Amino acid sequence: MFDKILLPIDLNHSESWETALPMAKRCAGGKGEIHLLGIVHDLGAAMVSSFLPDDFEKTAMKNLKAQVVEFASSNVPEATAHVAHGHVAETILRIADDLGADLIVMSSHPPNDFKTMLIGSNADKIVRHATIPVLVVR
């Protein structure tokens, strides 16, 4: 069993947690902590951000935190909800390190588009760069 599990979730895509959440619970074994992570994606371009309201990121983080807390209370009340801002793979690795997590559980999907095949999936990047075990479920 694991003591501290990080479970990144995208509440807009239920496939990001439907199979991963039960697996995270099983890996926690009733004693380990589950940490849910919602991520506000980095838009990556100053030009794009210039069209957004000044408080866009702050508002997005606040709204996402409320959604992750609500999700946790409905699905895994013992979990701790976290939100962060950034590129998905890098943010997951950073938060796992910050928390001292000993396992990352996440969902993946088969490559189904040209971009995924060229750039690689977030799960692939996390598996290659993580210093702790990563359980990828489908």
DSSP conformational letter for 51: T
- The SS3 assignment for 79 reads coil
pLDDT at 67 over 90: yes
Q: Average pLDDT in the 65-81 region? A: 96
Q: Which residues contact 54 (CB under 8 A, 6 or more apart)?
A: none
> If you search the block for the tokens 């990001």, which residue do you land on?
16
Predicted local distance difference test score (pLDDT) of residue 27: 97
Token pair recorded at residue 19: 């199979």
The per-residue pLDDT of the chain, averaged, comes to: 88
Domain ranges of the chain: 4-137
Whether residue 5 is predicted with pLDDT greater than 90 in this model: the reply is yes
Alpha helices in the chain (DSSP H): 20-28, 46-49, 56-75, 88-99, 114-119, 122-129
In the CATH hierarchy, which top-level class contains the domain 4-137? alpha beta
Longest dimension (CA), the chain: 47
Average pLDDT estimate for 19-42 = 94
pTM for this prediction? 0.88
